[in-house]
Amino acid sequence: MDIVHIDNLSKNYGKVHALKQVSFSIPAGTVFGILGPNGSGKTTLLGIVMDVLKPNSGGIRLFGEKPSELHRKQIGTLLETPNFYHYLSGEENLRISAAIKGRGEMDIDKVLQTVDLLKRKKSPFSTYSLGMKQRLAIAAALLGDPEVLVFDEPTNGLDPVGIAEIRELIKKLSLQGKTIIMASHLLDEVEKVCTHVAILKQGVLVACGDVNEILVNEDIVEIASSDIGALKNIFSNYPGSPAINLSDNIIKLSFPAGKANLQDINRFSFDNGMVLTYLNLKKKSLESKFFELTN
């Protein structure tokens, strides 16, 4: 089942087109990353999903139905910097959060245990590290045991230790069966945490699908010979069927990372009556793939 279905969504701020006819679905049980540079429309998209913003056109469905307040109560959110009382303890702040939500007061110890703050529940919020403050915000989102969690830049501003803690927490919540939707401009974060990704560029959806298919490391092997057309025909039958691209009289063969074997490629060409005049291996990083999609 799709938790969220986004249909032809557009949002303008005056002459600025924040989202341009964006459509995709978020399956249940996934960690779904919405990835893009700053200003690509990620936060606007999450705001519309949570009914904080209204679209100019298009719409969404939640849990297969027209969105309602009941549906949104099944979603826990962290859309901005945590706003807690500094002089109150973590536990006291969560009691206030539960009162505002109208649910979740009986969950406080459970969610503090989940985010590894139970031992510090009596400590003032002012004594928490940045990572602990962010984990408390996630604990607040968990009150009421929502099926879905929506995070906007959950590691923003954290040090490496805090980033690692939040990433491990997201993985832990996923294993508990939560569907997690998170916006990020960090390629590394999405690659390490998410199962699926939608990539936005200036409000336009440029790619969407399984992370291992969209953000894949590649080995690019460049080859050439005296008869480039014949060489291309020969390698159209190469075992494993690599993607083939011809540019400037050089053929580029794309393989999954670590799967390109130059010796096998050279032998295959020779066995088919063709001598290579050029053979070169280039690694295509995730960063290259991301910039290729967004620039």
Task: Determine how many CB atoms are found less than 10 A away from the CB of residue 238.
Answer: 16
Which residues does residue 222 pair with via DSSP β-bridges, in sequence order?
252, 280
Mean pLDDT for 151-177 is 93
- In the chain, % of residues over pLDDT 70: 95
Element containing residue 243 per DSSP (H, E): strand 243-247
pLDDT (tens digit per residue) in 78-127: 987 778 999 999 999 999 999 998 899 999 999 999 999 999 999 999 99
Q: How far is it, in rounded angstroms, from Cα 35 to Cα 188?
A: 10
Residue 12 in this model has a pLDDT that exceeds 80: yes
| Domains parsed from the chain with CATH numbers | 2-214 (3.40.50.300), 218-294 (3.30.70.100)
CA dist., res. 9 & res. 23, Å (int): 6
Q: Are 5 and 59 in contact (CB under 8 A)?
A: no
Q: At residue 137, does pLDDT exceed 70?
A: yes
42 pLDDT higher than 80: yes
Nearest-angstrom CA–CA distance, 160 and 284: 26
pTM of structure? 0.78
Residue 292: pLDDT band by 50, 70, 90 thresholds? low
Evaluated on CA atoms 10, 13, 16, 18, the torsion sign reads: negative
pLDDT band, very low/low/confident/very high, at 164 (cuts 50, 70, 90): very high
283 or 260, which is more confident: 260
**What value, to the nearest 5°, has the Cα angle with vertex 50 and ends 97 and 188?**
90
Lowest mean pLDDT among 61-65, 135-139, 171-175, 283-287: 283-287
What was the pLDDT predicted at 19? 95
pLDDT of residue 295: 66
Q: What pLDDT sits at residue 287?
A: 64
Q: Is the pLDDT of residue 272 over 70?
A: yes
Q: Is residue 289 predicted with pLDDT exceeding 70?
A: no
Q: Nearest 10 degrees: CA dihedral of 26, 28, 33, 36?
A: 10
pLDDT tens digits, 217-234:
678 899 999 999 999 999
Q: What is the structure's pLDDT at 270?
A: 93
Backbone φ/ψ region at 177: left (φ over 0), alpha (ψ -120 to 50), beta: left
